[in-house]
Amino acid sequence: MYNSHVRSMMSKEYSSAENMTRGKNGADNAFIFNVVRWSWMALAMACTFQCLLFISITNITAIISIVFAWIVATKVFMRPGMLRSHPLSAFLIIGFIATQFYFPLLFTTLEGKPVIFNLEFPYQVFFHSTASLLVLVISHTLYRILINQPLSTPSSWLNKIGIFSPPVDLQLWLMGFVGLGATVYVYLLSPNIGWEVSGAASDKAIQGLIPFSYAPYFIPFGALYGNFKTPSKRLVPLLLIFTVLLFIVSIGRNSRGAFMLGFTSVGFTYALGLLLGVFKPQIFTVKNLIIAAIAFLVVTGPIADLGTAMVIIRGQRNKISNAELIDLTLQAFGDKQAIKARRLEDNQEQGDWDERYLDNIFTARFSNLKFNDASIAQANKISDQNDGMLQYSIKYVLGTLPGPILTALNVDADKDAVYAVSFGDYLYAEAGGPVEALGGFRTGHFSGTGMASFGWWYLLFLGVGMFPVYWLFDKLVVKVSLRDLQSMIPAPKIAIRFSLCGILALTSIFQFLPSESVTITATFLIRGWIQMVLLYAVIFYVTKILAGIFQNKPKRVRAIR
């Protein structure tokens, strides 16, 4: 009786807190309504264009699947209540729908192509994607029904170890330089670490610090993780200088994705803050439109050219020094004819494993349905539940366990052999591809690799595996009690607070699915989430100590004087 009374009181308290924040910020509902309305207008125009210029039964079937998926997204997951109660798990499903349905239609339309462009098995692609979506929705529905407290509470162990403690601005700068230093060490000073499958635990721990390179860019979004201090006016020029450093390191690393994906987390953070009503939705101003236009021109022009230049000289990155790599990249960047020729080459048919879908290298990162198609094409060549694919999948999961545990359990899982290839490579080889294809790191898709490894059972593994994944992601958000809300100045606009750990991982959450295999749920549960949280806790406390030293040093000097 007592426990029931306490739970009832807590529920009322959180409900009151939520109602209070809604009263303070009623505009968030209107903003989400406008986002949904404009998204449907864009979808309607894209569908009309597709039906007029690329009318076919196959294309119309694909469009019907996309419309159905967007109905699920807007009616179920893009609602204020859902985003407040299950923010990160809902964001994950929105990401799946966007990358597998909405973005492909939008971006192929902008490029003047049918949504089924270069797809060998379009019906199977959209059937598997729709079936996976239904499984994800059912799994999330059961998760909402069975888990009464999806978010963390002030008394949770995550809160006690500091996961939800708001870092000060200086800590984020320190995290950024630690991540930048780790990048330089791993890819420039000791490049073998970056490309090795296994290695010393200390080296892999340093490699795990690389994502913190982008921490300073989250300073303006402190309201989401509990830091309400107004950013300094010097922030913008300091970030510009830091961006130049990141840019140079990315060129030396020869990784266009490394430079881009960190900034997408910043964009996703702002978008999530807008949807939750934390930030003012003043998007369509003259200033913002000019900034958006400049950003679009830069991304589709110079940045796209630089990305192609990196690809041109990629084959030499392990043979020359980093200084030479940067110099050759800049030379290739200046050779517009070579860039044009490379793009024409990329748009030509590429044999049994053809990844051509979108021309823009950046939009292709978030909406390339050819990965689905290529995996399904290879899976169709072999029987369902192929023994080789099944054994590889099992070894891939076991390989996430630390070496000492594998030895203690007497498990034979050669990490070097397993992780030296991708699921796409292994599927391609099993389907009759050349042995030298192993190590090419082709991007597989869980629908094709799932059918090859488990048959239709892969959908069951997906649904069951995603249940705890939803829960663990939502645990990176904490409910704020009514008492704490009333004591905070300025008062927060929502009754929840994100951990910076979760915000830094927003791109990974958005792109959690599609993955190369449904085994991603097992590897995430065994190691991924634990490693992410513990590594963040360590760097949080280290930077907290360092920030305290730097902030107290001037006071000590003045005291001596």
> What letter does residue 113 receive in the DSSP assignment?
-
- Distance between CA 30 and CA 18 in Å, rounded? 17
Question: What band does 390 get if pLDDT is binned at 50, 70 and 90?
Answer: very high
Task: Indicate if the pLDDT at residue 347 is higher than 90.
Answer: no
Going from the C-alpha of 26 to that of each of 18, 21, 156, 365, 478, the distances in angstroms are: 12, 8, 30, 35, 21
Task: Indicate if the pLDDT at residue 136 is higher than 80.
Answer: yes
Give the start-to-end residue ranges of the domains of the chain.
2-146
Tell me the mean pLDDT in the region 334-361. Answer: 78
Task: Indicate if the pLDDT at residue 27 is higher than 60.
Answer: no
Name residue 299's amino acid.
V
Q: What pLDDT digit, counting tens, does each position of 76-110 carry?
A: 999 999 999 999 999 999 999 999 999 999 999 99
Task: Indicate if the pLDDT at residue 293 is higher than 90.
Answer: no
Predicted TM-score (pTM) of the model is 0.88
Q: Residue 197: its pLDDT value, please? A: 55
- Distance between CA 413 and CA 398 in Å, rounded? 7
Q: What pLDDT digit, counting tens, does each position of 469-483 carry?
A: 999 999 999 998 766
- What tokens appear for 400 in the block? 């996430």
- Distance between CA 289 and CA 173 in Å, rounded? 29
Q: Residue 29: its pLDDT value, please? A: 78
Q: What pLDDT digit, counting tens, does each position of 514-539 carry?
A: 999 999 999 999 999 999 999 999 99
Q: Which of 188-197, 213-222, 311-320 has the lowest mean pLDDT?
A: 188-197
Question: What band does 204 get if pLDDT is binned at 50, 70 and 90?
Answer: confident
Task: Indicate if the pLDDT at residue 311 is higher than 60.
Answer: yes
Closest CA to 275 of 28, 477, 40: 28
| Residue-averaged pLDDT of the chain | 85
- What tokens appear for 242 in the block? 């830091």
Q: Residue 430: its pLDDT value, please? A: 92
Task: Indicate if the pLDDT at residue 14 is higher than 50.
Answer: no
The larger pLDDT score, comparing residue 550 to residue 409, is at 550
- Please, which residues bridge with residue 497 across strands? 478
Task: Indicate if the pLDDT at residue 6 is higher than 50.
Answer: no
Task: Indicate if the pLDDT at residue 213 is higher than 50.
Answer: yes
Name residue 498's amino acid.
F
Q: Residue 438: its pLDDT value, please? A: 81
Task: Indicate if the pLDDT at residue 13 is higher than 60.
Answer: no
Q: Residue 485: its pLDDT value, please? A: 62
Give me the numbers of helices (H) and strands (E) for the chain, helices first please: 30, 2
- Distance between CA 521 and CA 513 in Å, rounded? 10
Q: Residue 559: its pLDDT value, please? A: 36
Q: Residue 558: its pLDDT value, please? A: 40
The larger pLDDT score, comparing residue 420 to residue 253, is at 420
Question: What band does 337 get if pLDDT is binned at 50, 70 and 90?
Answer: confident
- Distance between CA 78 and CA 275 in Å, rounded? 8
Closest CA to 82 of 38, 32, 153: 32
